[in-house]
Amino acid sequence: MPDKPRTPIDQLQPGAVLEKPVFHKGRTLFAAGRTLLNEDIQELKHLHITTVVLRDSGTPAGDKTQNDPLSLDLRKQATSILRNAYQDFQNLNSQQTSEILFLGRRLHDEVSHATKLGIAVHDLRDYSNYTYQHCVNVTAISLAIGVRLGLSKEELNNLSVGGLLHDIGKMMVSEKILNKEGPLTDEEMSVVRQHPNWGSELLQEQMDFAPVVWAIARQHHEYMDGSGYPDKLSGSDIHILARIITVVDIWDALRSKRPHKAAWNPDQALDFINGLTMVGKFDPEVLEIFNALIVPYPVGSKVMITGGKVGVVAALNFAEFSRPIIRFESDGKESYLDLLERKSVKVIKTLELAT
Ligand SMILES: [Fe+2]
Ligand SMILES: [Fe+2]
């Protein structure tokens, strides 16, 4: 196969994905698979790097964006393997642990092949499967972030297994508390808040899982500003793999319909995660990659734009998912507006979410 052409730095758009790593003074500056952010492009310019090799050509993807990193088959299989493992959480046998390790590698493999990814689907949930589906979803999105961060294969495999098992400690919490309809009492809340400790203790008994997998279970509710639990860790004391899971964990919880709450729309969940109450709580680099991966207004959604006009999302711009192309209809005539070209206008809210 002939070599892919190199793209000049001046033509790069945020969201372009590197096919080949970028080296600088003998060091890997950016790994293959990284999605370039604005600062990355600035850094390349600053270092006088003139060209890079991109996957496809980094042009807008329109409807070719893949909206789920996992195939339906793998999702189903993963949920069923996890259900068995979580239900036998106190006595995982070696067949179950090797199934989870194998599943971790398969998820990693599938997600790393999904390059034009814009997360827009949410797995359908039923309450009895909530925890397992949550863990599969969290793992898939976390892996997509890990790939773009340029993590090594080993780190990605650990991220995958850690994501699958991060909430295993919840099996020590009664169903009555987990599925309670109203708000939890202080006492119930303190039981729920033990699940990271319980999870990491359970996993430490399994020789097959790397210590970082225990750390993910223990640290996935810690915040960068020290306001999380159970250990009130802050900054780099929290493992990078746990910092990834933390963001995605909240996203998935907000997007889920639970006995005590409705599912939030993607734009509402994104606003919350990036809003005032969460300032300083997430790893900024992880958050930036996460934001670039999520599609706040999926194709087919009815939305309102600045000025109150209502239209339907016709296509996505891969460079910026929050600025899609909108179709309007009036008097039987169609017109289109590309929000990437009209920066003074933005989507204000989702009126009807496409699923
Ligand atoms: Fe958790
Ligand atoms: Fe979780």
| φ and ψ at residue 327, rounded to 5 degrees | -105, 135
Q: How far is the CA of 207 from the centre of ligand 2 (A)?
A: 23
- In the predicted model, what is the mean pLDDT of residues 132-137? 94
Question: Is it the case that residue 66 has pLDDT exceeding 60?
Answer: yes
Q: Which ligand is nearest to the CA of 142?
A: 2
Average of per-residue pLDDT values in the chain: 90
- Kindly give the distance from the C-alpha atom of residue 256 to the centroid of ligand 2, in angstroms, as a whole number: 11
SS3 call for 152: coil
| Smallest-distance ligand from the CA of 256 | 2
| Ligand closest to CA 197 | 1
Its pTM stands at 0.81
For residues 160 and 126, what is the distance between their CA atoms, to the nearest angstrom? 23
Ligand 1 mean position, distance from CA 67 (Å): 25
Q: If we measure between CA atoms, which residue out of 307, 306, 318, 313 comes closest to residue 347?
A: 306
Q: Which ligand is nearest to the CA of 164?
A: 2
The ligand whose atoms approach the alpha carbon of 249 most closely is 2
| pLDDT band (50, 70, 90) for residue 64 | low
User: Is residue 211 scored above 60 in pLDDT?
Assistant: yes
Q: What are φ and ψ of residue 117, in 5° steps?
A: -95, 135
> Contact at 8 Å (CB) between 16 and 59?
no
Distance CA(33)–CA(113), nearest Å, equals 9
Ligand nearest the Cα atom of residue 138: 2
Handedness of CA 266, 269, 272, 273 (dihedral sign): negative
Question: 286 alpha carbon to ligand 1 midpoint, in Å?
Answer: 18
Q: How many alpha carbons fall within 13 Å on the CB side of residue 42?
A: 3
Mean pLDDT lowest for which of 63-72, 163-172, 292-301, 317-326? 63-72
Helix %, strand %, coil % of the chain (to 5): 45, 15, 40
Q: What is the pLDDT of residue 191?
A: 96
pLDDT tens for each residue of 240-269: 999 999 999 999 999 998 888 889 999 999
CB contact at 8 A, 294 and 248: no
Measured in angstroms, how far is the CA atom of residue 269 from the centroid of ligand 1? 17
Other Cβ atoms closer than 10 A to 140: 27
Q: Is 281 left (phi over 0), alpha (psi -120 to 50) or beta?
A: alpha
Percent over 70 (pLDDT), the chain = 95
The ligand placed nearest to the CA atom of residue 192 is 1
Nearest to 282 by CA among 321, 242, 255: 242
More confident residue, 134 or 39: 134
Residue 297 pLDDT greater than 50, yes or no: yes
Ligand 1 centroid–CA 195 distance in Å is 7
pLDDT band at 222 (very low <50, low <70, confident <90, very high): very high
Rounded-to-integer distance, Cα 177 and Cα 175, Å: 5
Tokens of residue 103, six digits: 């599943």
Q: How far is the CA of 134 from the centre of ligand 2 (A)?
A: 7
Residue 2's pLDDT band, with cuts at 50, 70 and 90, is low
pLDDT of residue 60: 42
Between 160 and 123, the more confident residue is 160
> According to the model, what pLDDT value does residue 115 have?
79
Ligand number nearest to the C-alpha of 193: 1
| Residue 288's pLDDT band (cuts 50, 70, 90) | very high
Nearest listed ligand to the Cα of residue 163:
2
Of 82, 65, 66, nearest to 74 by C-alpha is 82
Compute the distance from residue 162 Cα to the ligand 1 centre, in Å. 12
The CA 117 to ligand 2 mean position distance, Å, reads 22
Separation of CA 131 and ligand 2 centre (Å):
8
